[in-house]
């Protein structure tokens, strides 16, 4: 009897943990991994014992953002993203809303332990999350890229501080890295929107691919290789690494123009995610060879 009850309890806890994870599942490749790479590369005083703090800090804040975002329009998710926890019937909208407000103080307390800069990043992130969802960020059009990039910058600052020793601070090189990363993200973020272009048109979402379909694709073809070269110069990559990074960037950018089916766009988005992750490694290259 006891063992049966314990099994039921364990299964219930496992299901609840899975539900929580599903809120952030789609962001593991596009956000959690790249920003973790960034934090470990940029942290001025790397502490191996604190390395796991970076992905933990990122994940808690992603959870806060995604819950707030996914309670906005559950009916739309039932049509387009039925695997999400709310449309899948794993959690109610009211329960998710309660969880959303709990996550804000949880994230702030987690950040307070890491110091002033992490707390400031968490505070700004929480405020922007509320603003983003009040404005229905998915339908904001061009400004969505900018606001999402600022949110990403907050994640990078907080994770970089969390990856270092207790109460560490981001330095000038780190600040430059965050600024460049946020700018790159703001100008290339729509790489993730091409695969959803048809559904976005049906639901009224305003993204660069729905507003300027041809221009958005050509911006990939020119923007990604140009950023590849610019970042390589700023972070002083050697000639061979620069060439390889630019060639790969050109490959990714050209794919978006040459192949425009949903399946091809999904694959191109994966190549873009790898390119963006590689770009996050460049400040680490500079720290290793030129940093003090």
pLDDT along the chain (292 residues), means of 10: 54 78 85 90 77 93 92 74 81 88 94 92 93 66 78 94 82 92 91 78 74 89 96 96 97 94 90 92 90 64
CB atoms within 10 A of CB 227: 22
From the candidate CATH numbers 3.40.50.800, 1.10.3720.10, 1.10.357.140, 2.40.50.500, the one assigned to the domain spanning 26-170: 1.10.357.140
pTM of the entire predicted model: 0.84
Which pLDDT score is estimated for 187? Answer: 92
Is 138:144 a contact under the CB 8 Å cutoff? yes
- Rounded Cα distance, 277 and 186, in Å: 15
- Where in the chain are the domains? 26-170, 194-292
Which pLDDT score is estimated for 56? Answer: 94
- Count of alpha carbons within 13 angstroms of residue 104, beta-carbon side: 14
């Amino acid at each position: 009897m006891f063992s049966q009850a314990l099994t039921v309890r364990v299964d219930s806890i496992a299901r609840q943990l899975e539900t929580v994870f599903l809120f952030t599942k789609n962001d593991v490749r596009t956000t959690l991994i790249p920003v973790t790479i960034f934090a470990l590369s940029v942290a001025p005083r790397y502490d191996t014992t604190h390395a796991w703090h970076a992905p933990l800090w990122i994940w808690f804040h992603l959870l806060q953002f995604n819950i707030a975002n996914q309670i906005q329009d559950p009916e739309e998710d039932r049509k387009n993203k039925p695997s999400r926890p709310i449309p899948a019937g794993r959690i109610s909208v009211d329960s998710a809303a309660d969880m959303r407000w709990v996550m804000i103080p949880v994230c702030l307390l987690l950040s307070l332990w890491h110091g002033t800069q992490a707390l400031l990043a968490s505070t700004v992130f929480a405020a922007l999350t509320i603003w983003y969802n009040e404005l229905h960020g998915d339908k904001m059009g061009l400004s969505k890229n900018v606001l999402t990039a600022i949110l990403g910058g907050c994640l990078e600052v907080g994770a970089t501080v969390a990856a270092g020793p207790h109460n560490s601070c981001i330095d000038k090189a780190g600040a430059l890295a965050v600024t460049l990363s946020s700018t790159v993200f703001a100008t290339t973020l729509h790489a993730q929107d091409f695969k959803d272009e048809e559904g976005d048109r049906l639901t009224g979402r305003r993204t660069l691919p729905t507003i300027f379909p041809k221009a958005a694709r050509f911006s990939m073809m020119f923007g990604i290789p140009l950023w590849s070269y610019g970042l390589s110069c700023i972070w002083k990559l050697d000639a061979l690494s620069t060439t390889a990074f630019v060639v790969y960037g050109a490959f990714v950018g050209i794919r978006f123009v040459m192949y425009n089916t949903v399946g091809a766009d999904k694959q191109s988005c994966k190549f873009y995610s790898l390119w963006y992750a590689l770009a996050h490694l460049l400040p680490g290259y500079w720290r290793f060879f030129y940093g003090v």
